[in-house]
Amino acid sequence: MLRISKLTDYAIMVMVELSQSRGEVISAQALAERCGLELPTVSKLLKLLTRSELVQSFRGVNGGYRVNRPSADISVAEVIAAIEGPIAMTECSVDTGLCQQEDNCNLRSNWQRISLAVAEAMQQVTLAEMARPAPAVTDSLKIATFNA
């Protein structure tokens, strides 16, 4: 299904929530409640998001997490990359020597281009946009995803 992991999905929810209170420090606990997720899970995500510097953390009493950039400046692609690593459809899209097929196969450069196109598509969607429902997708468009 070419899907993002559940954790990544949660991460988007958390980031959307956080970025709606830009500048405010919010604890993992509070975020978990607002998003309807478990604390340990949210906690794990926030650690990853902190490492990627998408959010800033504050330890100690009254600590928590904060996002500095405006939500319109943070792309979905960044959040995905923070949780899952590089947006790459195959091992070989990231670097040479990683794909088992590399000897027999010269699809590598093409996979790189496809990965790039996918990454760009997701880079154009910001958290600000995610925060409000998009116009419904029509059935005629839906066909493109090869839904049954």
Q: How many residues does the chain have?
A: 148
If one asks whether residue 27 binds DNA (CB under 7 A), the answer comes out as: yes
**Which stretch in 14-22, 26-34, 122-130, 131-139 sits in contact with DNA by CB under 7 A?**
26-34
**H or E element, residue 31:** helix 28-35
**Least distance CB 138 / DNA (angstroms):** 28
**Least distance CB 15 / DNA (angstroms):** 14
Can you tell me the distance from the alpha carbon of 108 to that of 78, in angstroms, rounded to the nearest whole number? 23
For CA atoms 144, 131, 1, 82, give the dihedral sign. Answer: positive
Nearest to 55 by CA among 85, 72, 78, 39: 78
CA Rg, the chain, in Å? 18
Structure tokens at 47: 């650690």
**Least distance CB 7 / ligand FES (angstroms):** 12
Enumerate residues 81-140 that contact a copy of itself by CB under 8 A: 81, 84-91, 93-95, 101, 103-110, 112-125, 129-130, 133-137
If one asks whether residue 9 binds ligand FES (CB under 6 A), the answer comes out as: yes
Nearest to 112 by CA among 126, 123, 125, 96: 96
Q: Under rule CB under 6 A, how many of the chain's residues touch ligand FES?
A: 10
Residue 65 vs 111, nearer CB to ligand FES:
111
Residue 7 binds which of ligand FES, DNA, a copy of itself, none (CB < 5-8 A, kind-dependent): DNA
Question: What is the contact surface with ligand FES in residues (CB under 6 A)?
Answer: 9, 90, 92, 99, 101-102, 105, 107-108, 111
